[in-house]
């Protein structure tokens, strides 16, 4: 048995070395071992960057659309679906999908009462189908909460337990006092 193993390892490869001393193909094997974690990490880094970029674009769209409420232009002119479309119009065309945008606009008595996006979720952590749209009157305090459902490419690896079915909920909240437009 030992003699057979010695004779097997003493066979000459194509470069004239014995199989035990032949180093060709080592790089390919090492790359195969490192490739999957390397590309997973690389795609994850790229996706995190894209998520942050998309969230900044959502923030800018909410700031621009909320200005319509703050200045009184939306008063009597924009309903909730039109406000969603306004948010969508301020985003790049590849992000514009009103079915992925959830809007909640509330008028509150003071800044201490301004809540977060938790009003958009039910007790099970799912987004509510019905949200409020109260843009308030002149000089009233308004909270605008917008959630955009951003698809995640690396969700197939299931690294994130907070993942909502392969989507990340990008959030933008704006609290302001309406201008005295009367």
Decide if 2 is inside a domain: no
pTM, two decimal places: 0.77
On whether residue 1 sits in a domain, the answer given is no
For the chain, what is the domain count?
1
Residue 173 pLDDT grade (very low, low, confident, very high; cuts 50, 70, 90): very high
Question: Is 134 in contact with 109 (CB distance < 8 Å)?
Answer: no
> In the numeric block, which tokens belong to residue 150?
């951003």
Instruction: Say if 12 falls within a structural domain.
Output: no
Q: What's the pLDDT score for residue 181? A: 77
182 domain-assigned? no
Do residues 99 and 149 make contact, with C-beta atoms less than 8 angstroms apart?
A: no
Q: What whole-number distance in Å separates Cα of residue 72 and Cα of residue 180?
A: 8
The C-alpha torsion from 85 through 90 and 96 to 97, rounded to 10°, is -30
Give one word for 48, left, alpha or beta, with left for phi > 0 and alpha for psi -120 to 50.
alpha
Contacts of residue 28, Cβ cutoff 8 Å, sequence gap at least 6: none
Question: Is the CB of residue 122 less than 8 Å from the CB of residue 128?
Answer: yes
Confidence tier at 168 by pLDDT (50, 70, 90): confident
Place of tokens 């014995």: 18
Rounded Cα–Cα distance for residues 174 and 59 (Å): 9
pLDDT of 80 > 80? The answer is yes
Q: What is the mean pLDDT of the chain?
A: 83
pLDDT at 44: 84
Q: What percent of the chain has pLDDT over 70?
A: 78
Read off the pLDDT band of 87 (50, 70, 90): very high
Q: Which residue has the higher pLDDT, 83 or 23?
A: 83
Q: Is-contact 99 140, C-beta < 8 A?
A: no
- 161: in domain: yes
Which residues have a Cβ under 8 Å from the Cβ of 12 and sit 6 or more positions away?
18
- Given a cut of 80, whether residue 176 has pLDDT beyond it is yes
pLDDT of residue 83: 94
Looking at the predicted structure, is the pLDDT value of residue 6 above 60? no
Residues 101-137 pLDDT 10s: 999 999 999 888 887 656 677 777 778 777 889 999 9
Flag whether 41 is in a domain: yes
DSSP structure class, residue 90: T
Residue the block writes with tokens 């970029």: 53
Whose CA is closest to 129, among 171, 99, 159? 99
Range with top average pLDDT, 23-37, 83-97, 105-119: 83-97
Note whether 119 and 154 are within 8 A (CB).
Answer: no
CB–CB of 151/167 below 8 Å?
yes
At 2, is the pLDDT very low, low, confident or very high (cuts 50, 70, 90)?
A: low
pLDDT interval class at 88 (50, 70, 90): very high
Does residue 169 sit within a domain?
A: yes
The answer to whether position 9 is within a domain reads no
List the domain range (segments joined by +) for residue 115: 24-177
């Amino acid at each position: 048995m030992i003699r057979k193993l010695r004779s097997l390892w003493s066979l000459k490869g194509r470069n004239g070395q014995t199989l035990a001393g032949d180093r060709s193909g080592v790089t390919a094997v090492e790359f195969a071992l490192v490739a999957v974690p390397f590309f997973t990490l690389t795609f994850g880094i790229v996706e995190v960057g894209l998520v942050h970029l998309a969230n900044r674009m959502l923030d800018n769209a909410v700031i621009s659309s909320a200005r319509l409420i703050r200045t009184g232009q939306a008063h009597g002119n924009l309903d909730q679906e039109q406000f969603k479309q306004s948010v969508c119009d301020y985003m790049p065309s590849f992000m514009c999908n009103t079915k992925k945008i959830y809007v909640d606009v509330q008028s509150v008595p003071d800044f201490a009462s301004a809540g977060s996006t938790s009003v958009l979720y039910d007790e099970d952590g799912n987004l509510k189908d019905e949200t409020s749209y109260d843009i308030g009157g002149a000089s009233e305090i308004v909270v605008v909460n917008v959630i955009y459902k951003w698809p995640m490419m690396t969700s197939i690896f299931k690294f994130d337990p907070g993942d909502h079915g392969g989507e990340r909920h990008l959030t933008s909240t704006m609290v302001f006092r309406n201008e005295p437009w009367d």
